[in-house]
Structure formats: structure tokens, C-alpha cells
Amino acid sequence: MKFDSIRSSLWAGALLLGLAVTGAAQAATYEIDPSHTFVLFEVKHLGVGKAHGMFRKTTGKFDPDEGMLKVSIDANSLYTANKKRDDHLRGPDFFNTKQFPKITFESTKVKKEGDKLRITGDLTIKGKTKSVELMMSKVGEGKDPWGNFRAGYEGSVVLDRMDFGVDYMPDGLSKDVKLTLAVEGVRK
């Protein structure tokens, strides 16, 4: 009887150890895959339509279990499918990308809400930092054909561009800008 009890305890210990090891393996950091990560923005134009654009070069890392998300966006990689407009948006009227070449986000707090993550963090655009909240949902995870483990999340936030000094054309372009972050990362 006593022997059985010891054996049961050993099994329970092994199981707990195994779970702990598995948990540690899952709490890994993902490195953002720039070619499959999209930062999209949407702004109302003249109150009648929506203009869309994107930043095409994003780096960073995230760890959903540790609640960490760090993103660095190359502001010069802005793209709206119109070169003149791209140059205008890169210039001093809007993002002034030569003076402020990076847009960054760094999480400060993460809260799980069902299957979503409420991520609070510091967003820096044009040298101005504001705390914003992103609601991120997991898109999926799994192994890619090359054996790497990938995970993808997507979320969005509505910003007041005036808070970040991107304040040109207040009557032509809405102050509210929807920023969508669709990240795909490779587990390291």
C-alpha cells in the first residue's frame, strides 16, 4: 500500500514536470517575419471615402505567454499605390520620415480576455509617444513546410493622428486613423 502511494506520487511528479517543460517550450519568443507582416492604415478622405495604405517593412518580436510585443516599423516603407502621394506622406507635411524614420510600439501590459489579448503599450510616431490599447486575436499557429513553428495575430486600434503631430489637412483627412497590425512570427 505504502509502495503504491510512493509510485503514485512519482507519477504525479513526473506529470507535473512534463507539463512544466511543455509550458516553458510554449512560452517562446516569436520573431516577426517582415515579409508576412502587414501594418495597414485607413483614413477617411474628404468625409466621403476611405484611403488605405500600408508600411511594408516591419521587424520585432512577440511572446503571447509573457505578454510581450515589440514592433519597429520603417516609416520610409510607406506605400499607398501612388508615388507622389507616398512622397508627400513621407515628407514634413505628414510623417517626416527622414527626421523620424521609425514608428515603434512596445507593450507595457497584456490582459487575456477570452481568446483575445488586450495589449496596452507605448506607440511612438514622429517622436511623440502615447499609450494605446490594441485588441489582438490569434489567427492561427502551426508548423510551416520548412519545419519552423509559426503563429499569427491580428488586431487594430483607432488613433487620433493629431496626438502624434501628423496634423496636416485636418479638414480633408479624418483625425481618426485605423491602424491594423497583422503579425506573423517564427518561434525561436
Partner 1 sequence: MQFALLMSVLAPALAGLVVVGVSAIAARVRGHPGLGPGAALSAPLGAFAAYLPVRGMPELPPTDASIWALWLSLAAVAYGTVRETLTPVARWVAGGVWTVVTLSLVWQPAFAYGLPGRLGVAAVGVGAGLMTGAWMLIEIRSNQLEGPALPWALTVWSGASAAVLAVSGTALLAGAAAGATVALGVLASYSLWRPQVCCAGAVAPAVVLVGGLVAGGWAYAEVTTSSAVLLGVAGPTLGLVRLPSVDASRWNSLFREVGVAAALGAAAVGAGFLPEFESNGSSEAAGDYGGYGGYGESNDDGYDGY
Q: What are phi and psi of 18, to 5 degrees?
A: -60, -45
- Distance CA(63)–CA(70), nearest Å, equals 9
CB of 88 to partner 1, least distance (A): 5
Give which of 30, 29, 36, 86 is closest to 57, Cα–Cα.
Answer: 36
84 binds partner 1 (CB under 8 A): yes
118 forms beta bridges with 111, 135
Judged by CB under 8 A, the residue of 44, 79, 116, 148 near partner 1 is: 79
Length of the chain: 188
Q: Within positions 119 to 178, which residues make up the interface with partner 1, using CB under 8 A?
A: 126-128, 165, 167-169, 171-172
Give which of 183, 146, 158, 137 is closest to 39, Cα–Cα.
Answer: 183
87 binds partner 1 (CB under 8 A): yes
Q: Segment near partner 1 (CB under 8 A), from 62-70, 97-105, 141-149, 174-182?
A: 97-105
Q: Within positions 55 to 74, which residues make up the interface with partner 1, using CB under 8 A?
A: 56-57, 74
Cβ closest to partner 1, residue 50 vs residue 98: 98
CA 45 to chain centre: 25
- Using the structure block, give the residue that is written with the C-alpha cell 506529470: 15
Cβ closest to partner 1, residue 19 vs residue 169: 169
For partner 1, the binding residues (CB under 8 A) are: 34-35, 56-57, 74, 76-88, 90-93, 96-101, 126-128, 165, 167-169, 171-172
